[in-house]
């Protein structure tokens, strides 16, 4: 009798665990960098904004998979040069957007807030990112870079 | 019961890594290039004014320059830099020259204001940490003996070359 109860409890737990694990495998998305965010050639003292509809300069990341995902950007405060110079960046509440390969407009969102995204197997979802570079009037000439992280996780994990 | 707990522990051990794999990270680069600024600005002519023959005279001239890279200064007229010519011939004033943060004071002097060759660097400056607005300054003086000459207008051009360093 006691062994029967134990087997029942184990079966129940397996029933609870199995769908969760299966769902975790099914909803894993692929995150693929497509294009960097490029502000181009700037003059000292002249801020430059890359809007979301600037297809040549906006940053693009492709998401593929199924199910709901939470997307978080880790945004740098500044670009830096090999000489140690710093070029401040800023991002507005409309600096990021969602773009579906199936068509439609860019749906903007705040890149500094977690964004829930619904993926589907029949399309690729693109995250696009703009922003503003703010070179100082005394900005030193040179090449400035930074890395933008995109963290994708299942809701609740 | 012990066996059951062991089995459950094993299941949890297997399941937890599977859940952890549900988070992924990708990255893209962000980049910008700050353009080189390297330009002359407005100039203030060097004028000795109206000089009484047989008396000394001085004058100061400057030209603004902005840069965010290093610079090599040369004087393409070499030894003839700053000579003035008029009815009585050519006069070679005495100069001090260099750069300064204002048009009034030289803070980095050129090694010479009349170099032996046009390609001789009279001052080499490495890249600044930020945009620099400066002035190239020439202070000229004429001795009493030099002004004791034929009256008339004497003029010339001081040419300065900046090469990005």
- The residue among A33, A140, A149 with the most chain B CBs within 10 A of its CB, best to mutate, is A140
Place of tokens 């893209």: B28
CA end-to-end span of chain B = 80
**8 A C-beta contact, residue B91 and residue B154:** yes
Identity of the residue in B4, B130, B131 whose CB atom sits nearest the CB atom of A6: B4
Please report which confidence band the pLDDT of residue B23 belongs to, taking 50, 70 and 90 as the band edges: confident
Contact across the interface for B19 and A20, Cβ inside 8 Å: yes
Q: Span A31-52, mean pLDDT? A: 96
Contact across the interface for B34 and A6, Cβ inside 8 Å: no
- B162 against A140, higher pLDDT: B162
Q: Span A63-76, mean pLDDT? A: 93
**CB < 8 Å to B71, chain A:** none
Helix axes A2-26, B2-20, angle to 10 degrees: 10
Place of tokens 């009493």: B144
Minimal Cα–Cα distance from A37 to chain B, Å? 4
Residue of B nearest to A139 (CA): B130
Please report which confidence band the pLDDT of residue A28 belongs to, taking 50, 70 and 90 as the band edges: low
Q: Span B67-86, mean pLDDT? A: 96
What value does the CA radius of gyration of chain A take, rounded to a whole number of Å?
22
Identify the pLDDT of residue A21.
36
Q: Which residues, 6 or more positions from A129, have their beta carbon under 8 angstroms from its beta carbon?
A: A37, A52, A58, A59, A60, A61, A73, A91, A95, A96, A97, A111, A148, B28
| Average pLDDT across chain A, whole number | 85
Dist CA B63 CA B99 (whole Å):
9
Q: Which two tokens stand for residue B159?
A: 């040419």
Nearest to A60 by CA among A154, A144, A150: A150
Q: Span B41-61, mean pLDDT? A: 97
Residue of A nearest to B14 (CA): A21
Question: What is residue A96's three-state secondary structure?
Answer: strand
Contact across the interface for A151 and B25, Cβ inside 8 Å: yes
**8 A C-beta contact, residue B90 and residue B84:** yes
If 0-12 CB within 10 Å is exposed, 13-18 middle and 19+ buried, where does residue B41 land? exposed
Please report which confidence band the pLDDT of residue A50 belongs to, taking 50, 70 and 90 as the band edges: very high
B29 touching A (Cβ < 8 Å): yes
Please report which confidence band the pLDDT of residue A84 belongs to, taking 50, 70 and 90 as the band edges: very high
Dist CA B137 CA A62 (whole Å):
57
Identify the pLDDT of residue B131.
87
Q: Does pLDDT of A24 surpass 50?
A: no
Please report which confidence band the pLDDT of residue B136 belongs to, taking 50, 70 and 90 as the band edges: very high
Q: Which residues, 6 or more positions from A71, have their beta carbon under 8 angstroms from its beta carbon?
A: A63, A114, A115, A116, A117, A127, A150, A151, A152
Dist CA B77 CA B58 (whole Å):
21
Minimal Cα–Cα distance from A38 to chain B, Å? 5
């Amino acid at each position: 009798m006691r062994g029967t109860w134990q087997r029942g409890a184990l079966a129940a737990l397996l029933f609870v665990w199995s769908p969760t694990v299966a769902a975790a495998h099914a909803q894993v998305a692929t995150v693929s960098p497509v294009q960097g965010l490029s502000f181009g050639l700037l003059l000292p003292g002249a801020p430059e904004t890359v809007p979301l509809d600037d297809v040549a300069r906006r940053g693009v990341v492709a998401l593929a998979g199924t199910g709901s995902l939470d997307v978080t950007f880790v945004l740098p405060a500044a670009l830096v040069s090999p000489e140690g110079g710093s070029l401040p960046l800023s991002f507005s509440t409309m600096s990021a957007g969602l773009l579906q390969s199936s068509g439609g407009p860019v749906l903007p969102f705040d890149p500094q807030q977690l964004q829930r995204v619904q993926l589907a197997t029949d399309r690729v979802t693109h995250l696009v990112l703009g922003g503003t570079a703010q070179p100082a009037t005394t900005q030193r000439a040179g090449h400035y870079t930074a890395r933008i992280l995109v963290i994708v996780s299942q809701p609740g994990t | 019961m012990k066996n059951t707990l062991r089995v459950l522990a094993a299941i949890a051990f297997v399941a937890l890594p599977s859940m952890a794999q549900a988070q992924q990270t990708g990255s893209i680069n962000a980049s910008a290039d700050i353009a080189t600024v390297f330009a002359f600005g407005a100039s203030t002519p060097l004028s000795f004014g109206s000089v009484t023959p047989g008396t000394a005279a001085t004058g100061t001239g400057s030209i603004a320059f902005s840069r965010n890279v290093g610079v090599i200064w040369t004087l393409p007229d070499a030894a003839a830099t700053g000579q003035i010519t008029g009815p009585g011939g050519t006069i070679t004033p005495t100069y001090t020259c260099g750069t300064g943060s204002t048009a009034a004071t030289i803070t980095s002097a050129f090694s010479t204001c009349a170099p032996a060759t046009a390609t001789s660097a009279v001052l080499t400056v490495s890249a600044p940490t930020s945009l620099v607005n400066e002035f190239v300054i020439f202070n000229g003086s004429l001795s009493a003996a030099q002004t004791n000459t034929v009256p008339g207008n004497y003029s010339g051009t001081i040419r300065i070359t900046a090469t990005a360093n």
